[in-house]
Structure 1
Amino acid sequence: MAQSNQFSSTAASIDAQSYAIPQEAFDWYDEYAHGLIDRRTFLARLAKLTALGFSMAMLSSALLPNYALAEQVSFNDPEIKAEYVLFDSPMGHGEGRGYLVTPKNADKTLPVILVIHENRGLNPYIKDVARRLAKAGYIAFAPDALHILGGYPGNDDQGRSMQKSLDKGKIEQDFLAAAVFLKEHPASNGKLGAVGFCFGGYVVNMLAARMAKQLNAGVPFYGTPSAKELRSNIKAPLLIHLAELDKRVNATWPDYEQDLLANKVAYQMHMYQGANHGFHNDSTGRYDELQAELAWSRTLDFFKQQLG
């Protein structure tokens, strides 16, 4: 078991104004984004900050996503090929659809990585993560849990409501089916990794517990653990990224770590100082550039070590 390291850095932000925004605002957004408070309550709390000199426009620009900022690899990049493909999900919603990105001109089979979105469907940030992995030499596949409802609607609030309306068990089955589809893809060399963010981090932990023989490496970013009764099944090495200010997810870590230790799972956990839940998402003010780049470089190194 590799011991976690902590790193200090100044939180980078989409907008310099977000440096001054109180931490409470980011905590409220996390509660809102995860259904712990409704939109009215969230906006009412933000309104109280206007007495401190913040405008609602300033707060919104720092907290809500701007996906125009989230493209690090263009879908027109000449080194990759991006397309949408369907897959069967008989135990889930019957049919799934995802964003498949492959390196162009690959002359051999390659490791494959499932990319799992947050609790709002396949948004532009997650598609960009898939493209980043393809640029790094992997076949990446990012399913959209909202396919059965017409797909990601282009709006996170609506996407969140849509995903909440679906049966969580069927969503999980869709991702299990997507993982099998990807591992068995003709261009796959049989080595399967998974990376996910927030809800997607939970799904990575779930896949590790339910696909012990098929998953070769898992990287959950600030995700809650799988059900306790399943954790003894975990075999795949895990690289776990947590954010220091993410009290909600971090509260689940001590119990999860005890189960990983008890079952002799090979894992590394890194806690990123001063970072909020969602610090890897470069479309919001929670983005911490230095910590995100560090976490991503570790992720690529881990996949290279585990998948080849």
Structure 2
Amino acid sequence: MKILVTGKTGQVGYELERSLQGLGEIIALDRSQMDLSDLAQVRDVIREIKPNLIVNPAAYTAVDKAETEPELAMRVNGEAPGLMAEEARKLGAAIIHYSTDYVFDGAKVGPYIENDPTCPINVYGASKLAGELAIQAAGVSHLILRTSWVYGMRGKNFLLTVLRLAQDRNELRIVGDQHGAPTWCRTIADTTAHIVAQAKGAQYSQDWWQENSGLYHLTAQGQTTWAGFTEAILANAVLPKRPAVTAITAAEYPLPAKRPGNSVISCEKLISKFCGLPAWEQALKLCQD
């Protein structure tokens, strides 16, 4: 099986290249080799490689910058996944794509499930929703995996920002009224690999995809706030001095893009069908060890 992985230098892409080893021939590409803003290049690369499976973690992820670059965000997050799905269908291949909790407005009380109505409140969320819809409309075997609050020990993410700020600040003022599940990029990659192994092991793989294609939520289990996440990061870290964490409201820290107040998404569908998921605290500790 030939597996094409996009965005190999990103948080999830880097981990996927490791996690998918042994499941097929892994062809992992970075943006210089497959730029999702260049739709002609995306099409040409897929036609040249002829993969059996496309795994697409590459995305435009600058949530605030997207407010001033909506066309670029929509091309990378909306149009490119749709094109990949169409090319996969022509090849008789499947696609695994990653989406976000930001497709919801955050107004619901309690965790969101997969078929709850979507209502993005920022450009990034709207662009990711467009990608979901384009893949679903392509008639291709697919898994769309929504995740949230992704972090790791490389790239740009909240964990590394907190560790950097903790070096020279006595106090960290962090939003405490937005709720979600911090998710280690390795959890996403390892869960994806588990699912791919299950699909590969099925006696009639095409039947497996017909039965299991669809939308799933994939996050660590439990929930916290950004302030609570910060407290946990600092508790795990070895620091000469630990700064105090002061919880503030999102209104006290305005950003160009609005964020949902409730980003908690239920993973019961994925857990019941494929595999368990770790508690966010457990995954964070493993990441920081």
TM-score by structure 1 length?
A: 0.32
